[in-house]
Amino acid sequence: MMAPLFELERASVVLGRVPALREVNLRIQAGERVALVGANGSGKSSLLRLLNGLLSPSEGVARVPPAHAQAMLFQRPFLLRTSVCNNVALGLWLAGTPWREAKARSQLALQRTGLADLAQRRGRELSGGQQQRLALARAWARQPQALLLDEPTASLDPHAKREVEALIAEFAVSGTERPMTLVFASHNLGQVKRLASRVVYLERGRVLADMPVASFFDDAQLQRISPQAHNFVRSESA
Domains of the chain: 6-79+126-237 (3.40.50.300)
Q: Of 76, 16, 3, give the one whose Cα is nearest residue 46.
A: 16
Provide the residue-wise pLDDT of the chain in tens; the chain has 238 residues.
Answer: 678 999 999 999 999 999 999 999 999 999 999 999 999 999 999 999 999 999 999 999 999 999 889 999 988 888 999 999 999 999 999 989 999 999 999 999 999 999 999 999 999 999 999 999 999 999 999 999 999 999 989 889 999 999 999 999 988 765 545 678 999 999 999 999 999 999 999 999 999 999 999 999 999 999 999 999 999 999 988 6
Give residues with Cβ within 8 angstroms of 29, minimum separation 6: 1, 2, 4, 5, 181
**pTM for this prediction:** 0.93
Distance CA 190, CA 206 (A): 23
**Would you say the C-alpha torsion 78, 84, 89, 94 has a positive or negative sign?**
negative
